Amino acid sequence: MKNILKILRTEKGWSQAALAEKLDVSRQSVNAIETGKYDPSLPLAFAIARLFGRPIEEIFDDGVELASAAE
C-alpha cells in the first residue's frame, strides 16, 4: 500500500524516531510503513491519521479506484 507518511513527517520536521515516539511504536515500524514494507493495522492507521489531522484515505492509498471497486 502506498502512503505519504514520509512527506507528512518531513513537513512537520520530525525524524522517524520522533514520529515513532509520538505513536509509541519502534523507529523500525515507522521506516517499514514509510517504505511500504509493512501496512499498519486500522488502529495504527487511525492513530497516524489523527496525529496529522487528515483522513486515512488521504494518507494511505491501496491503488484501487472507488468506481472499479464498486463494480
Partner 1 sequence: MTQRGFRTAKRRYHYLFWPLMAAYTVLVFATSFLVDTDTAPTWLKVTSALAVTLPLFGVLYAMRRQTEETDEYTRMRQLQAMRDGGLITAGFAFMIGFLQIFEVVDLISVFWFGPLFFISYGLSFCTQNFGKVV
Chain positions contacting partner 1, by CB under 8 A:
20-21, 23-26, 28-29, 32-33, 36-38, 40-41, 44
Closer residue to partner 1 in complex, CB, 4/32: 32
Closer residue to partner 1 in complex, CB, 38/52: 38
Cα–Cα distance, 65 to 37 (Å, whole number): 22
CB atoms < 10 A from the CB of 41, how many? 9
* Beta-bridge partner residues of 61: 2
Classified as helix, coil or strand, 60 is strand
Closer residue to partner 1 in complex, CB, 24/65: 24
